[in-house]
C-alpha cells in the first residue's frame, strides 16, 4: 500500500475531481509528471483514450498506475491554451517521503521536523534528519505530527525510541483475553534523549501518531502541544472472503494502550468503564466530546496527571481561532482560490510564487 510502503509505481502527482473532470493539484518534484511538464490546474480529459468525465479520483489513479517502464497517455486541457495537449508519460517507482521537511529555525538553535506518515522507511529518514540536526548544534526540537494519520506500528515504536530511553514500554495491545496482551519496548539508545522536545498534534493526528505522542507524554520526555487527537486505537485483522479476494471482513481483535494505561481508542459509548480512576466532578471547560470532569485520571512516570477517554490530550492545548470567515470557507470548498491562482499564473507566465 502506498501509505505504508512509502512507494508505488505511477506518475507522481496529486489529483482531485473538479468541474466534472480530473484535475492535477500538484505534480511531485522529480517524478515523471513533473519532468514531463504537467502543471497544477491541468485538467485530464482522457486517460489512455478513456474520458474522465465524472470519473472518481480512485478510478483515475488505477488507470494511471502500473508497472514502472510502461507508459500512459494523457489528454490535457490547460488554462490559456485553446487546443488540448497530448502527453505520453512513462511510469516510474514513486518514492513517498515520510519526512517532508527538516531544518533549523532561522536565527535559533531550534530544530524542526515534519513527519507526514509512518511508512517502511520512516525511522531511517528520521534518524538521518536528527543526526544532521544534532550536527548543526540544535538544543531543542519541534516534532510536527499534525494531520499524520498513522501507518505501521513497528515504525511508531522505532520513532518513539529516538526520544525515550532504551528498554521503556512504548505501547501494548489488549484483547478480550489477558493472554493476548502484547508489549512493545524501545530497543535502542535514543538519538535525542534529553534536550527540550515539543510534539505538535491536532485532530488529524491518529493511530501511530498517538502512540508516539502518548509514549513521549507518559514518560515525561516532552511537551505535547496543539489539539486533542483523533482517538484511533483499534487492532484490526482483514480476512478475505470468497475466491477473488474482492470482499473482506475487517475484525477488531484488540486495542492499543500507552504506558500509563490509557486506551487510545475513543469509546463509542462514553460511559463505558475504563482502567483508570473516575475523576471527581469539577467545573472544567470541555476539551472535546467529553468534559474533563467525565474523564479518567492516569499518571505519567513522574506522577503528573493525564486524562483518558481516548486520543491524546495535549499538555498545552491551543484555542481554535476562526481564521476564515464563512464566505471564505465556502469559496475554498468550491476551489475558487485554486482556480484563480491557475488562471492568474496562466495569464502571467513570468509571475513568481512570492507575489504579494
Active site residue 43: no
Convert the pLDDT of each residue in 175-184 to its tens digit. Answer: 888 777 999 9
Q: Which CATH architecture has domain 2-95?
A: Roll (2.30)
Which cell is 287 given?
476539551
Active site residue 344: no
In the predicted model, what is the mean pLDDT of residues 7-11? Answer: 90
* Cβ burial, residue 319 (10 Å; 0-12/13-18/19+): exposed
CB atoms within 10 A of CB 247: 8
For residue 149, name the pLDDT band (cuts at 50, 70, 90).
confident
Return the closest-CA partner of residue 345 out of 40, 76, 44, 85: 40
3-state SS, one letter per residue, for 263-322: ECCCCCCCCCCCCCEECCCCCCCCCCCCCHHHCEEEECCCCCEEECCCCCCCCEECCCCC
CB atoms within 10 A of CB 5: 13
- Res 190 pLDDT > 90: yes
The domain spans of the chain are 2-95, 99-314
Which cell is 300 given?
505519567
- Specify the higher pLDDT residue, 313 or 334: 313
Query: What is the topology classification, in CATH, of domain 99-314?
Result: 2-enoyl-CoA Hydratase; Chain A, domain 1 (3.90.226)
Three-class secondary structure of residue 113 per DSSP: strand
- State the pLDDT at residue 244: 67
Structure-derived torsion over alpha carbons of residues 55, 60, 61, 65, reported in degrees to the nearest 10? 160
Q: Which of 43, 46, 123, 218 is catalytic?
A: 218
Return the closest-CA partner of residue 73 out of 95, 44, 98, 102: 44
- State the pLDDT at residue 127: 98
Return the closest-CA partner of residue 159 out of 117, 200, 112, 96: 117
Active site residue 20: no
Return the closest-CA partner of residue 191 out of 243, 232, 130, 270: 130
Convert the pLDDT of each residue in 49-78 to its tens digit. Answer: 999 999 999 899 999 999 999 999 999 999
Q: Tell me the percentage of the chain whose pLDDT exceeds 90.
A: 55
Same fold, 2-95 and 99-314: no
Convert the pLDDT of each residue in 244-294 to its tens digit. Answer: 666 778 788 889 999 999 999 987 644 334 444 433 333 333 344 455 556
Q: Which backbone phi and psi does 13 adopt, to 5 degrees? A: -155, 155
- State the pLDDT at residue 354: 63
Partners of residue 185 on adjacent β-strands: 169
Q: Which of 232, 260, 266, 288 is catalytic?
A: 232
In the predicted model, what is the mean pLDDT of residues 105-117? Answer: 95
Specify whether the CB–CB gap between 67 and 9 falls below 8 A.
yes
Using a CB cutoff of 8 Å and minimum separation of 24, what contacts does 12-17 make? Answer: 12/92, 12/94, 13/38, 15/44, 15/57, 15/60, 15/61, 16/57, 16/335, 17/55, 17/56, 17/57
Cα angle vertex 189, ends 186, 194, to 5°?
Answer: 100
How many Å apart are CA 207 and CA 211, to the nearest integer? 6
Q: Which of 207, 209, 213, 260 is catalytic?
A: 207
Amino acid at each position: 500500500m502506498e501509505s505504508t510502503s512509502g512507494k508505488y509505481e505511477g506518475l507522481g502527482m496529486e489529483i482531485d475531481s473538479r468541474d466534472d473532470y480530473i484535475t492535477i493539484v500538484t505534480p511531485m518534484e522529480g517524478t515523471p509528471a513533473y519532468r514531463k511538464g504537467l502543471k497544477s490546474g491541468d485538467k485530464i480529459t482522457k486517460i489512455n483514450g478513456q474520458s474522465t468525465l465524472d470519473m472518481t479520483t480512485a478510478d483515475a489513479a488505477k488507470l494511471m498506475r502500473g508497472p514502472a517502464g510502461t507508459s500512459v497517455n494523457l489528454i490535457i486541457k490547460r488554462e490559456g491554451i485553446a487546443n488540448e495537449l497530448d502527453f505520453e508519460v512513462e511510469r516510474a517507482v514513486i518514492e513517498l517521503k515520510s519526512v517532508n521537511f527538516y531544518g533549523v529555525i532561522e536565527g535559533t538553535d531550534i530544530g524542526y521536523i515534519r513527519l507526514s506518515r509512518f511508512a517502511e522507511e520512516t525511522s531511517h529518514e528520521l534518524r538521518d534528519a536528527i543526526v544532521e540536526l544534532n550536527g548543526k548544534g540544535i538544543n531543542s526540537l519541534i516534532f510536527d505530527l499534525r494531520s499524520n494519520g498513522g501507518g505501521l506500528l513497528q515504525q511508531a515504536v522505532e520513532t518513539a525510541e529516538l526520544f525515550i530511553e532504551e528498554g521503556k514500554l512504548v505501547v501494548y495491545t489488549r484483547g478480550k483475553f489477558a493472554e493476548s496482551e502484547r508489549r512493545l519496548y524501545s530497543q535502542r539508545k535514543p538519538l535525542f534523549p534529553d534536550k527540550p522536545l515539543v510534539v505538535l498534534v491536532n485532530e488529524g493526528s491518529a493511530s501511530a501518531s498517538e502512540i508516539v505522542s502518548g509514549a513521549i507524554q507518559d514518560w515525561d520526555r516532552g511537551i505535547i502541544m496543539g489539539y486533542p487527537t483523533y482517538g484511533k486505537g483499534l487492532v484490526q485483522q482483514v480476512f478475505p472472503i470468497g475466491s477473488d479476494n474482492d470482499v473482506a471482513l475487517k475484525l477488531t481483535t484488540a486495542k492499543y494502550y500507552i504506558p500509563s494505561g490509557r486506551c487510545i481508542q475513543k469509546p463509542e459509548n462514553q460511559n463505558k468503564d475504563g482502567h483508570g480512576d473516575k475523576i471527581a466532578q469539577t467545573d472544567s471547560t470541555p476539551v472535546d466530546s467529553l468534559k474533563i470532569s467525565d474523564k479518567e485520571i492516569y499518571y505519567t512516570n513522574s506522577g503528573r496527571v493525564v486524562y483518558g477517554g481516548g486520543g491524546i490530550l495535549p499538555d498545552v492545548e491551543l484555542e481554535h481561532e476562526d481564521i476564515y470567515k464563512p464566505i471564505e470557507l465556502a469559496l475554498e470548498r468550491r476551489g475558487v482560490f485554486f482556480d484563480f491562482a491557475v488562471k492568474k499564473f496562466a495569464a502571467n507566465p513570468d509571475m513568481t510564487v512570492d507575489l504579494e
